A = this chain, B = another copy of it.
Amino acid sequence: MAAMLASRAETRTQARILRLLRDEGPLSRAELADRLQVSRTTIAAEVGRLTELELAGDAGPATSRGGRRSTIVDFRADLRFAGVDIGATSLGVAITDGRLRVLAKAAEEIDVREGPESVLPTALRITRELLAEQESPHRLVGAGVGVPGPVDFDRGVPVSPPIMPGWDGYPVRDAMARELGCPVLLDNDVNVMTLGEQHSGVARSAQNFLFVKIGTGIGCGIMVGGHMYRGVDGCAGDIGHITVEESGPICACGEKGCLEAVFGGAALARDATAAARAGRSRVLLDMLGERGELTAVDVGAAAARGDACSVQMVREGGRRVGLTLAGLVSFINPGLIVIGGRVANLGHLLLSEIRGVVYRRSLPLATGNMPIVLSELGDDAGVVGAARMVSDALYAVE
C-alpha cells in the first residue's frame, strides 16, 4: 500500500461493513447487525466512525420490518475509485462509486513501449477529465492500475517486463499516488482482470478459480480461497512460458516452444501470415493483400467464413492451451476456469477444443463439477478489477 493518508477501515467490523455495502448494496443497521453477528450498539458506533472517515453513513430510514425502526447505511455518494488498465496498445480508465459501479469510462490508443513518462501522463489526463465531467462533488479515495507485464506487488513497480522497455523498476504506484493524491495499487493486467471477473463477471460467486487471458500473450490469474494468489515472488500465473513443444518455435523470451510461442495473438498472426504466403489459405492471402498484415481477429473472421486452414489453426491452438490447462487442473484442482482476453473472441470454436482436451485429460474427480466458460466482461474486466483491487485494500484492516 502506498504510504498515503487515506480514508480506510480502521477495525475489522468497519471493513466487513464496507465490503457488505460494496458487494450487496445499501443495508439497514438492523441487517448489518444480523449479518455481522454483532450488537446494534456496535453497528451504531462503527457507522458513526465511518461517517467521520467520510466513507459511509446513514442514507435515510429503512422500510419497517415490524420491529424497531432502522436506518439504511450506504457509501457516501461522493466516494470515487479509479481503475486504470494499461495494455500494450490501449489505455482504459473507469471512474466508479463506492460499490464499484462504473460512472464514466474512456479509452485511448497508446504504445506502451513509449514508456512511463509518456503513458502515465495520458492515464492521469484521462482520469482527471473523467473526474471533472462528474456532475456532483466527488472525492477520489483510491486508484488501481494494471500493466501488461510482471509486477513486484509489494514495491509497486514493473519487473523486467518483456514488452514494456523503459518500465523496469519505474515507481508506477508511487508516482500515480503522488499525482492523484490517493492510495494506488499496481498489479499485472491478468491479476487485475481476475479481480474484475470475481467482482462482476462469471466468477462472481467463485472462491477458487483460474482466469486465463489469451491476448497477444497468455497469462493466468489464480484465485484461492477468495484471495488473489501472487506466489512467493509475485510472478505466479506466468503460464505463457510453460514449455509445450520442446522443439517448437522460438519465443520472445528466448526459449523454445513456450505456450505463447505456439498460440496467442502474436503466434496466430505469425502463423496466418506464413499460411497465406505459402498458399495454404486463399481467404487469408486476400486479407493479407488488402491490409498488408494479419492479426488474430483476421484468423477468427476467416474461420467464421469456413476457411479450413484458419479453423485448423484455432483448433490446434485450443488443443495446446487445453493440454496445458489439463495439467494445471490436475495440479491445482480449481472450481472454475474463465477464458478471457481478446483472442478469446475466437469464441466457441476455441472454447470447445479447450474443453474437450481438459475434460478428457484431467482426473474425473477434478473436472466433475468444473465449468470452463468464456468471460462476458470484455474490456470492463481490467478497469473494474483495478478499482476492486484498491477497494479491497481500503475495505480491509492492514
Contacts and interface: CB of A to CB of B under 8 A. Distances in A.
Contacts of A255: 361
A202 interface: no
A208 interface: yes
B328 A331 contact: yes
Main secondary structure of the interface of A (DSSP, over half): loop
A326 B255 CA distance: 13
Contacts of A326: 242-243
Contacts of A330: 238-239, 241-242
A229 B236 contact: no
A10 B217 CA distance: 50
A332 interface: yes
A150, A323, A333, A369: which has the most chain B beta carbons within 10 Å? A333
Contacts of A220: 331
Interface in A115-162: 150, 159-160
A333 B231 CA distance: 5
A231 B335 CA distance: 8
A150, A255, A332: which has the most chain B beta carbons within 10 Å? A332
Contacts of A324: 327
A13 B361 CA distance: 46
A138 to B, nearest CB: 37
A113 B250 CA distance: 48
A234 interface: yes
Contacts of A239: 327, 330-331
Contacts of A398: none
Nearest to A367: B233
Contacts of A234: 333, 365
A107 interface: no
Nearest to A160: B365
Contacts of A369: 233
A366 interface: yes
A393 interface: no
A72 interface: no
B332 A231 contact: yes
A239 B327 CA distance: 7
B331 A241 contact: no
B243 A334 contact: no
Nearest to A232: B335
B243 A365 contact: no
Given A363-B241, A365-B159, A236 B331 contact: yes
A235 interface: yes
Given A208-B231, A238-B333, A242-B327, 11 more contacts: A208-B232, A222-B331, A229-B332, A232-B335, A232-B366, A234-B365, A235-B333, A235-B363, A235-B365, A236-B333, A255-B361
